A and B are shown apart, each in its own frame.
Chain A
Amino acid sequence: MDEQSVSWYNGPLSRLVLQVSAGMENAARGLSGMLGRTITTGTSQARVVRFSDLYEDIGHPETGMVGIYLRMEGDLSGQAILILSVKSALDVADLLMEEPQGTSTELGELEVSALGEVGNLTVAYFLNAMSSLTGRDLRPSPPAVMVNMLGAILGVLATTAGMTGDELLIIETVIQDPQDKLVEAHFWVLPDLISEFE
């Protein structure tokens, strides 16, 4: 890594990761209240990946998964996505609708709508905390819930990032409920331009 990259990693990016981390802790508090159980976050980590390595750590690109996607708009712009397995998405839908685990067996209109609300709330709590830390106006777009092959879901991120570059900057935080592990999701934040966060 050259000197410029090192100073960039230690400067603007490390600040951004700390802000994302604080934002996600707030999102976890919001989710805990919404789902009626303790939700915790892992350490937020930044990585730069090429398009061909986008699926690593998540799953096979052909696997059916769920992505709850929003655009972040306002003073800072970027993409945010919650990625979870179909099983975890069904469990989250049951928690949200206060149904016994295993009640939801497919992701129909009701379940998808509930998952959209999870995305709304997660990103709203996240952006509120980020706004407080940065003093900037940040707003989420309406959520889009995608139930599709993982490759198709993550292709949306690649398409947007591909218009301006050849790599994606991903700040990842894993959120889960430590008790039953019913909820396990990867939350990714992808700033459009890192310079906007400096």
Chain B
Amino acid sequence: MEEVNVSENVRSVSIGEIVTSDKPNEVLVAYGLGSCVAVCLYDPVARIGGMAHALLPETPSNGNKGSSGPAKFVDTGVPALVNSVLKLGASRTRLRIGLCGGGQVLTVPGANTQFPIGERNVAAAEKALKKSGMRIHVQDTGGMTGRTVRLQVVDGQVTVKTFGKGVQVLDLASAKR
């Protein structure tokens, strides 16, 4: 059974949401990501973390971002996430970036052409982060299985639980810039 720290405060990051924190006992969690992506930002000195859970790659050309949260779309969600953590006191130059999710969950037998929304979400996140002047330090994307992504505010550790495949730890804090 998973070890549970009693003082740990889990903050769920739902589809379209951005959650930031500077509280060491908080853990930001996006549960059951399929083709969605979780973008994680962490400042290891200020110990500030943020996570966006984005559904679709690009804001429609009519500019309608919708009402399901600031991170429904990757391209507008990423800069919104960056602004949120900076506002909380993080330093742009110290930020470490993690990108997880973007799987291909739906495969229809006999269909040659699939709509690779997961891949497109990952590509949109890479593009948006580059545009914000940032590079990705740790990444776990693609595949066909769901993931739960956790970011510990205390130390920047990102854990990814992949359906049927166990848990892996990505150390965001000590990733080289």
Q: Taking beta carbons and an 8 Å cutoff, which residues of A are in contact with B?
A: 50-52, 54-55, 60-62, 64, 69, 116, 141-144, 146, 148-156, 158-159, 162-163, 165-167
Partner of A155, one of B36, B66, B69, B109: B36
B interface, over-half SS: loop
Q: Is B72 positioned at the interface, with any CB of A under 8 Å from its CB? A: yes
In the complex, the answer to whether A159 meets B35 with C-beta atoms within 8 Å is: yes
Mask: chain B, 114-148; 1 = CB below 8 Å from A; 0 = not: 00010000000000000000000000000001111
Q: How far is the CB of A127 from chain B (nearest CB, A)?
A: 17
In the complex, the answer to whether B163 meets A162 with C-beta atoms within 8 Å is: no
Q: How far is the CB of A150 from chain B (nearest CB, A)?
A: 6
**Alpha-carbon distance between A55 and B12 when the two chains are bound, in angstroms:** 13
In the complex, the answer to whether A144 meets B72 with C-beta atoms within 8 Å is: no
In the complex, the answer to whether A144 meets B109 with C-beta atoms within 8 Å is: yes
Q: List, in ascending order, chain A residues with CB within 8 A of B108's CB.
A: 141-144
Q: Is B27 positioned at the interface, with any CB of A under 8 Å from its CB? A: no
Q: List, in ascending order, chain B residues with CB within 8 A of A162's CB.
A: 55-56, 66, 68, 72
Q: Which residue on chain A has the smallest CB distance to residue B68?
A: A166
Q: How far is the CB of A77 from chain B (nearest CB, A)?
A: 15
A152 and B163 contact, Cβ closer than 8 Å, known pairs A60-B31, A116-B109, A141-B108: yes
Q: List, in ascending order, chain B residues with CB within 8 A of A50's CB.
A: 68
Q: Is B34 positioned at the interface, with any CB of A under 8 Å from its CB? A: yes
A146 and B106 contact, Cβ closer than 8 Å, known pairs A158-B55, A166-B66: yes
In the complex, the answer to whether A156 meets B35 with C-beta atoms within 8 Å is: yes
**Alpha-carbon distance between A144 and B36 when the two chains are bound, in angstroms:** 19
Q: List, in ascending order, chain B residues with CB within 8 A of A141's CB.
A: 108
Q: Which residue on chain B has the smallest CB distance to residue A148?
A: B146
**Alpha-carbon distance between A153 and B106 when the two chains are bound, in angstroms:** 8
Known: A149-B147, A151-B32, A152-B145. 14 other contacts (CB 8 A): A50-B68, A60-B31, A142-B110, A142-B111, A144-B107, A146-B106, A148-B146, A151-B146, A152-B105, A153-B146, A155-B33, A156-B34, A165-B66, A166-B67
Q: Is B164 positioned at the interface, with any CB of A under 8 Å from its CB? A: yes
Mask: chain B, 73-114; 1 = CB below 8 Å from A; 0 = not: 000000000000000000000000000000101111111000
In the complex, the answer to whether A152 meets B14 with C-beta atoms within 8 Å is: no
In the complex, the answer to whether B161 meets A62 with C-beta atoms within 8 Å is: yes
Q: Which residue on chain B has the smallest CB distance to residue A150?
A: B32
Q: How far is the CB of A120 from chain B (nearest CB, A)?
A: 11
Q: List, in ascending order, chain A residues with CB within 8 A of B117's CB.
A: 159
**Alpha-carbon distance between A61 and B33 when the two chains are bound, in angstroms:** 9
Q: Which residue on chain A has the smallest CB distance to residue B73?
A: A162
In the complex, the answer to whether A69 meets B68 with C-beta atoms within 8 Å is: no
